[in-house]
Chains A and B, each alone.
Chain A
Amino acid sequence: MSTATLPQATTGALPAGTKLPDFHLPVAPGRKASLSDYRGQTVILAFYPADWSPVCGDQMSLYNEVLPDFQEHRAQVLGVSVDGPWCHRAFAEARKLRFPLLSDFEPKGAFARACGVYREGDGTSERALFVVDGEGTIRWSYVSPIDVNPGADGILEALEKLESNRPTPKGGTP
C-alpha cells in the first residue's frame, strides 16, 4: 500500500540513496554555484527541458507560487536546464521567479548526464526532480513524462518524509 504513494524514477535517473554529483554551474551571468554552497540545507533540483514553455503556470511558475511551502521545510529549490545564463535571466525576470536557475550549458548537459537525466536526441534534460538532503544524498528522484508538468505534490511528500526521518534538527538553524 504505502509503496505506491511516491512515484519512483523509471529511467536512468540516480536513485534515492546515492550521492548527487557536485556541480559548479552559472546561476547568473558571471556567477557560479556549487552543491557545497547548500550544505546542511535540503535542496530540490528541478530539471526541465527549456525556458519559455508557452503556458501559464508552467513548472517553474508553479514552484514560484509554492515557494512558501518549500521554505517551511527549509528547502531550497533550484531550476536546471541547458539554457545559458542570459536566457535564464530573461526568463526569470519575465516570470518573476524568486529562486535560482542553473545553466547546464557548458559543456552542455554535463550535469544532467551525471545525474542520468540527459535526453541525447533532444539535447535537453528530462523533466526530473531530485530531493537532496543536507549531506548531498538523494532522498527522492522522479522523472516525469517529458510533456507532463509533474506538479509539486511529489516534492512536498518527499520533504515531509525526509523531515519525519530526521532524528533531530541540525544545530545553528534559526
Chain B
Amino acid sequence: MTVLKPPVSSDDHRAGPDGAPVTLTEYGDYECPYCGAAYPIVQEVRRALGPNLRFVFRHFPLSQAHPHAQRAAEAAEAAGAQGEFWKMHDLLFQNQDALEDADLLRYAVSLKLDGERFTRELSAGLHTDRVRRDFRSGVRSGVNGTPTFFINGVRHDAPWDLPTLTAALEAAAAVPGGR
C-alpha cells in the first residue's frame, strides 16, 4: 500500500474543512494535459461531496517534459503568498496553453495582486524550494506520473474518471474514523 509521506499538514494548500471525513490529495503539474483533463473532474467531486471533502494540492512539475511547469507552480505559490493560491491554481488549469511569464503576471494582476512583488518573488526563485519539496514528497509517496491522487493518504491506482473517483471518495467517506 502506497501512502502519503509526509501526511497532510498545515503546510499544505487545503480547501474544505480540516475535519472532513475524506481528504483527496492531488500531485499535479499545471502544464500536464492529463492534469488539465482531471481539473474539471476534481471541481465536480468537490461540489458533489461538499463539506465531506477536503482537497489538497501538491506540486509535481515534470520539468523535463513541461518547460513551464515549475514556473507555473512557483506562480501559484507566489499568489499564495498574497492569499490567492486557489484562484491562481484555477487560472493556471484554465489556461494551460498560456503559461509564459507575461501570462503569469497578467493572471496575478487580474487577481489584484501586487504585481511587482509577484514578479520579484518569481525572479528571485523565492518559491523554488517549496515546489521542489512537494515534488520530493511525491517521489517518496510513490507518485508515478501526473496526476496522482491519494484518498485519505492512500494512493488511488484506479482510474480517475468522474464516476470512479466519486465512488472511491464516497466509499472512503462511509468508513468511520477515516481521514
Contacts and interface: CB of A to CB of B under 8 A. Distances in A.
Interface residues of B, number: 22
Contacts of A98: 64
A163 interface: no
A95 B34 contact: no
Contacts of B144: 57, 59, 62, 148-152
B136 A61 contact: no
B164 interface: no
B145 to A, nearest CB: 3
Contact size range, A: 20 to 34
Contact of A56 (B34, B139, B157): B34
A58 interface: yes
Interface in B11-69: 29, 32-34, 60, 62-66
A151 B139 contact: yes
A148 B64 contact: no
Contacts of A65: 62-64, 135
A56 B140 contact: no
A91 to B, nearest CB: 13
B149 to A, nearest CB: 14
A66 B61 CA distance: 11
Contacts of B29: 56-57
Contact of A148 (B34, B63, B140, B157): B157
A20 to B, nearest CB: 24
A156 interface: yes
Contact of B65 (A59, A96, A156): A96
B141 interface: yes
A161 to B, nearest CB: 14
A152 B141 CA distance: 9
Given A65-B64, A156-B140, 14 more contacts: A55-B145, A56-B65, A57-B32, A61-B64, A61-B65, A65-B135, A69-B139, A95-B64, A148-B144, A149-B144, A151-B144, A152-B139, A152-B144, A153-B140
Interface of A: 55-59, 61-62, 64-66, 69, 95-98, 148-153, 156
27 contacts: A55-B145, A56-B29, A56-B32, A56-B33, A56-B145, A56-B146, A57-B32, A57-B144, A57-B145, A59-B144, A61-B62, A61-B64, A61-B65, A61-B145, A62-B144, A62-B145, A64-B64, A65-B63, A65-B64, A65-B135, A66-B139, A69-B136, A98-B64, A149-B144, A152-B139, A153-B141, A156-B140
